[in-house]
Amino acid sequence: MASIKFENVHKDYGSLRVLKPFSLEIEEGEFVILVGPSGCGKSTLLKILAGLEPASGGRILLDDRDVTDHAPGDRDIAMVFQNYALYPHVTVRGNIGFGLKMRGMKADEINKRVDDAAKMLGVSHLLDRKPKDLSGGQRQRVALGRAIVREPQAFLMDEPLSNLDAKLRVHMRAEISALHKRIGVTTVYVTHDQIEAMTMADRVVLMHDGVIQQIASPDSLFRQPSNLFAAGFIGSPGMNLLPATVTTDGDGLGVDVLGARISVEGKPCVDGQKLVVGLRPENIDLGPGKASFTVTPSLVESLGSEKYVYFSHGSHEVAQIVQRDGERTKGYIARISHLGGIPEHEELTLSFDPNELYMFDAKTENALA
């Protein structure tokens, strides 16, 4: 196992800077996930760490050993790819042991390591098959086995589950997490799926447009987003974001949120300041509460024990865009635990707890302390 350290690393393609300068330390044995939308730079970062792409500047250290200019084979890192990268004409045994064979390891030792890895991953009965005879999940296990037998200092995984169906992804998430706990190798994992990030990682590195937005545990990332991007990206459905202006009345500074007056006394804001107020869909309740408002739902989606209630409210100068079935529409969403029916196009009372609101400066997009 190895610790990993990035020091002011960045990546340019000509005049285009795709990865802004950043520093990051990953502890020995830690499971770190890089997450963000497509094109945010997470796969580029992983390729730089693997040695498949040169960094344009900065240093990369493995256990304080500078490997910035080392070839991939000299970094003692194993990588698992999105497309498995198995040799189609070679058996499972041959695929798992291929790297060891190229190193000149003796056949007995190769077979022992392959058998141990295959047993760990539950593919011992598949060792004589070819990749074409395997399911997607089995191929992914073989790819993992090829990485495990090398006994590297770190594992790098580039969206390893994206080619699997939804049910199998859930199963493989649990398998990879259990595998990491068993062998304890430092792991850097890339995904665009926030569910993978939130359920598997010790720490999450959230990226956007080549910039690291926040580094935190999954729980902290969800409960304490540092800016608007983190607030909107993490959570399903995404956080409702409502524009608001700080005003003064008899009770001091406050903002109007969905028709309710919410105090902002004690927060770092001033009269006239533009804010964006965040309210998670799951923090909206059906029926009256501490802060109540009425809406007429435009759509109600039933997920069994939960309902997604889509609605609009008032004439805000800025309206959130809700993504639904590939279409973008102005409005907000509530995620309500409710077994009964909720009528569409009829007035409905909803409520929220003001203590569960998030507040961001509209200009800097940073969270208020």
For the chain, list the domains and their CATH numbers.
4-232 (3.40.50.300), 237-361 (2.40.50.140)
Question: Residue for token digits 């919410």?
Answer: 262
pLDDT digit string (tens) for 249-264? 888 999 999 989 999 9
Q: How many CB atoms lie within 10 A of CB 260?
A: 16
Is residue 207 scored above 90 in pLDDT? yes
- Give the residue-averaged pLDDT of 231-236: 91
What is the model's pLDDT at position 326? Answer: 45
- Give the residue-averaged pLDDT of 101-127: 92
Is residue 328 scored above 60 in pLDDT? no
Q: Tell which phi-psi region holds residue 97, choosing left (phi > 0), alpha (psi between -120 and 50) or beta.
A: alpha
What is the model's pLDDT at position 165? Answer: 85
Helix/strand/coil (H/E/C) assignment for every residue in 110-126: HHHHHHHHHHHHCCHHH
pLDDT digit string (tens) for 269-317? 999 999 999 999 999 999 999 999 999 998 899 988 899 999 987 654 3
Backbone angles phi, psi at 135, to 5 degrees: -80, 170
Average pLDDT value over all residues in the chain: 90
| Residue 149, helix vs strand vs coil | coil
Of 215, 218, 258, the residue nearest 357 (C-alpha): 258
- Give the residue-averaged pLDDT of 231-238: 91
Of 288, 334, 327, the residue nearest 312 (C-alpha): 334
pLDDT band at 329 (very low <50, low <70, confident <90, very high): low
pLDDT band at 324 (very low <50, low <70, confident <90, very high): very low
pLDDT band at 330 (very low <50, low <70, confident <90, very high): low
What is the model's pLDDT at position 303? Answer: 87
pLDDT band at 73 (very low <50, low <70, confident <90, very high): confident
Exposure string (b/e) for 267-295, b if CB count within 10 Å is 16 or more?
eebeeebbbbbbbbbbbbbbeeeebebeb
- Angle of helix 136-148 relative to helix 107-121, nearest 10 degrees? 130
Backbone angles phi, psi at 261, to 5 degrees: -90, 120
CB 152 within 8 Å of CB 185: yes
- Give the residue-averaged pLDDT of 186-203: 95
| Residue 348, helix vs strand vs coil | strand
Q: What is each CA distance from 87 to 97, 129, 132, 223, in whole angstroms?
A: 12, 12, 10, 44
Give the pTM. Answer: 0.88
141 is written with which tokens? 């296990």
Of 200, 202, 206, 201, the residue nearest 233 (C-alpha): 206
Beta-carbon contacts of 123 under 8 Å, excluding residues fewer than 6 positions away, are 92, 138, 141, 142, 145
